[in-house]
Structure 1
Amino acid sequence: MLRPALGPALLAVAGIFLLSIMDGMIKFVGETHSTPQVAFMRYLAGGSMAFLVFAAMRTRLPSRETLRPHAWRSLVVTATALSFFYALSVLPLAVVLALSFTSPIFIALFAAMILGERPTGSVVIAIGIGFLGVLVVLFSQIAPGAAEEANLLGIAAALVSAVTYALSMVVLKSRAARDPLSTIVLLQNLFPALLIAPLGVMFWTAPDAGELALMLLIGALGTAGHLCLAAAYQRADASRLGVFEYTAFIWAILIGFFAFGEIPGAATLLGAGLIIGGALIASRRARVNEPEVDVGP
């Protein structure tokens, strides 16, 4: 039935919407600052916002047993951020998003391998339809006149980020039933900030007041988006929610049109239609699984 799936689906879509706005701001700031600096500021600001939420909810301090899997997951989150932010800096936003939409494929695979989830036939069909839409968009968006080396490196970085993001989401599912949401979001901002800090300082260039404000807003959007996603993954299967990653391209179309006057072409609209179709199929039914899995060494 649709009703059980509606809550987690809306939370997932809201989280992806906030993170899509964040991506556009990251691309803008990344034109004048290095990838490690942007990533460091994103998680530093996000960690500050997450700490305020953590303190306001009076959440108990995490135990050592809680810290260990989140420290392991932070390695994957850091790899995702650096590769994705680099891809944003050298490729068009639409291309990066299209490549990142392969993550639901990997989410379904990792969910089966790590969590023991068994995706239903409708989920498999939804992923296939959505991925077909991604291919339509991808082949229409890559610019042949762009620098070949930057394209190859950017495409590789975007694909790496899709794999590591999928793994981080599955690990999130393994902890979402156990840990408070405020703890999850705080640790997934704090640990990456610490890991990226040396590179961020090494490649630091002073931001002006406007850029600093954008970086703080990026952190706030990241925290809010991940709170929504953490709540969604707490209530539904990772393989089912993964297909809603495709809606990021829909948000990109709307943001591009209203903010920058960009009018999508026919292929973009066709791809978006396929993506929406896949998301609608995936939302028909929900199956909640409470895994008892520890991830990490």
Structure 2
Amino acid sequence: MFRRPLRAAFGSAGFGPAMAAMSGIGLLSIMDAVIKHVSADHSTPQIALMRYVCGTLIAFAVFRAMGTPWPSRATLRPHIWRSLVVAATALTFFYALAVLPLAVVLALSFTAPIFIALFAALLLGERPDRTIISALVLGFAGVLVVLWHEVDGAGAANAWGLAAALTSAVTYALSMVALKSRAAHDPLPTIVLLQNLLPGFIIAPLAATSWTAPAPAEFITFFIIGALGTGGHLLMASAYKRAEASRLGVFEYTAFIWAVGIGFFAFAEVPSLSTLAGAALIVGGALIASRRVPPAPEPEVEIGP
């Protein structure tokens, strides 16, 4: 009953890679804001576990609705390795959100596209051309224009938080490149289901040591976090299935555009001129990157042991 509309949304007839990537990043940006909200009451491992438990329920519903076959043992092995990287990304990023200002975390996370291009070249054999390099430079310049004062004022912030934010950028980039290596082989529902289920198992022992009982209303919040994360990763997997990892990496900069929109509509925050100027540079970099998107060859290389 639900298979045809779901396939239309996430299959080859759905969004183009650029639009899918930006929409996925938008959902994940909203998820980050909600996580920041609940981090005052619960530990980082518990938030990560609840995010993946709720995400698994939603991803499994999509998996079954689309009639996706169960993954084989050969399919599970690379996903287990990637799940270790995904779990590390979640724990470090969620911790950074809890102890640092959101703007500082976002500024440091915007180094991820540089690492994506680097890992794509080293592991997948992609060779970013001058267009991609120009787009990365332009987008990063926009980030610096917008966030210079926030980063400059973070010198007294928690050193572990800064280290966690930078670590999450590296592990996130590696997880996206690993996603590219699997997206050519595995169905999208399988990728997203395993991306929720396996990290949940990895994080569960840590969460058990710092567990606090959520209030009934908080279960709804965690379910929203899981829904946003699952929807965002479905869109991201769809994008990485159809375009080069190095070309899509630049769209990570659009997370700040989403943050400005969320701030304006949810909190009545009016962006400053420097914010608008930086956003223009970020959009310019994204447009340059999307001008020519060649067909993505199926990578022959496997990422992981």
Q: TM-score range by the shorter chain?
A: over 0.9
Question: What is the distance in 2 between the residues matched to 1:147 and 1:262?
Answer: 25
- Cα deviation for residue 55 of structure 1 reads 1.0
TM-score by length of 1: 0.94
* Residues 107 and 151, structure 2, Cα contact 8 Å, conserved in 1: no
**Whole-angstrom CA distance in 1 between matches of 2:273 and 2:108:** 19
Partner of residue 203, structure 1:
210
Report the equivalent of 2:3.
none
The farther-off stretch of 250-259 and 203-212 is 203-212
Single out whichever of 266-275 and 193-202 deviates more from structure 2: 266-275
User: Is the CA contact 1:134–1:271 (under 8 Å) kept in the aligned structure 2?
Assistant: yes
Equivalent residues of 1:87, 1:96 under 8 A apart: yes
Distance in 2 of aligned mates of 1:185 and 1:165: 15
Partner of 1:269: 276
Deviation by residue 1:199-232 (Cα, 9 ceiling, x = unmatched): 1111111111222111011001100110000000
Contact 2:142-2:282 at 8 Å conserved across structures:
yes
Report if the CA contact (8 A) 1:12-1:241 is conserved.
yes
- Runs of at least 4 residues of structure 1 off by over 4 A? none
Structure 1 gaps, min length 5: 1-5
Q: 1:143 Cα shift?
A: 7.0
CA distance in structure 2 between the aligned counterparts of 1:136 and 1:34, rounded to whole angstroms: 33
Aligned to 1:260: 267
Whether 1:289 and 2:301 are equivalent positions in the alignment is no
Which TM-score applies when normalising by structure 2? 0.92
RMSD: 1.4
Matched residue, 1:3: none
Report whether the alignment pairs 1:190 with 2:163: no
Shift of the alpha carbon at 1:147?
Answer: 8.4
**Distance of 2:171 and 2:245 partners within structure 1:** 14
1:90 aligns to 2:91 (yes or no):
no
How many Å separate the matches in 2 of 1:156 and 1:210? Answer: 33
Match of 2:79? Answer: 70
Question: Unmatched 5+ residue regions in structure 2?
Answer: 1-14
Alignment deviations for residues 173-205 of structure 1 (CA, whole Å, 9 cap, x no partner): 001010000000000101100000011111111
2:234 matches 1:227: yes
Residue 197 of structure 2 aligns to a residue in which SS? helix
Give me the whole-angstrom Cα distance separating, in 1, the residues matched to 2:178 and 2:47.
25
Task: Tell me the equivalent position of 2:4.
Answer: none
Calculate percent identity across the aligned residue pairs: 66
Q: Is the 8 A contact 1:77 1:192 kept in 2?
A: yes
1:44 to 27, 50, 53: 53
